[in-house]
Structure 1
Amino acid sequence: MPFDPAKPSLLSTLVRHYDELVDHVRRRFGDRGFAREVVHDVCVQLLEKRDKDNVHTPLALLRKISHDQAINRYRSERRSQSWIVGMSEPLEAECTAPTPPRQYEAARELELLTQAIEQLPERCQMVFIMHKIHELPQAEVAVRMGISLKTVEKHLRLGLAACRVYLDRPPTTL
């Protein structure tokens, strides 16, 4: 593009009227630092793009470009701030640790279950512990103890019933 001294480029107009453009944005948005950043952004835009031809009033066009850039920047900053403010409170994670009253209740239940198991007849106690505590399958308990599978099931029913009695729970909860 040939240089025409009668038609100044947008970039040269921006340089000549820099303070005026900053004041124009500052009056609308209130912050001089913000206004400088906006005018610098406009300068970068002009450097990256080809100069417009036939601009009759370059200062008016620069004011319009600066104003539009300021609005875009302001909206972008508000969106960022609202997201940051919205996230300022940490997400509440559900605590999986038992509360002190629940810990006390669990310790009490464990003590009651221990007493219930200790009160079982010896063979019933062994079947119950092997299956419920050591998690051996009923068939393996029967083989190890030399008893039938039906006898293992009977001892487990008796053990569960004793535990329910000690915990004062209805028969369907265990």
Structure 2
Amino acid sequence: MQAALDRWFIDEILVHEGALVRYLQRCWSRRDEIHDLRQEVYARVYEAAAKSLPTQPKSFLFASARHLMTDRLRRSRVVSIEPMGDFEPSHVLVDDVSPERWCGGRQGLLRLAEAFDRLPDRCREVVWLRRVEDLSQKEVAVRLGISEKTVEKHIAKGMRLLADHLHGSDDVRTPKAATVDRRDGQQRAD
């Protein structure tokens, strides 16, 4: 079986080496990593083919390369949480906050809580799930049984209403639209 897999790899995968290298050079900015990427793609393809031969080897090769680059980009964005040196708690100034600043922070928090409580019910629920519980837009939509577009609209409306309240508007709820009565042409609030 090993010899058959090696023959398949040579005939179906290695024949695309030039195209693979050009693809990696076009998509990957760090030129010094191209050969490592190529080898890792080959290793992934070979391991996968040992389990089951792909029906479209060339497509599988390039899809594997694209997935590898995506994985590397994700890993490069992860921030290390390892300490950079000795951390002594004595260097942290906890009592640095003045009473005025502390009180101002409390007042701002109370104002935000008040504005949040005044949001329309569904809007408040969507904003809470998305911004506080940090669920994705899709997760919020699934949990509440609404479309992602509706989640977007509630978030936009909620953020606008919160900002309006925090920047001076008295009422967070959207004012009801005035309509014109067709019978007498007078404007009335709904």
- How would you bin the TM-score normalised by the shorter chain? 0.3 to 0.5
Which fold has the larger relative contact order, with Cα–Cα distance below 8 Å and residues 6 or more apart in sequence? Answer: 1
TM-score (norm 2): 0.37
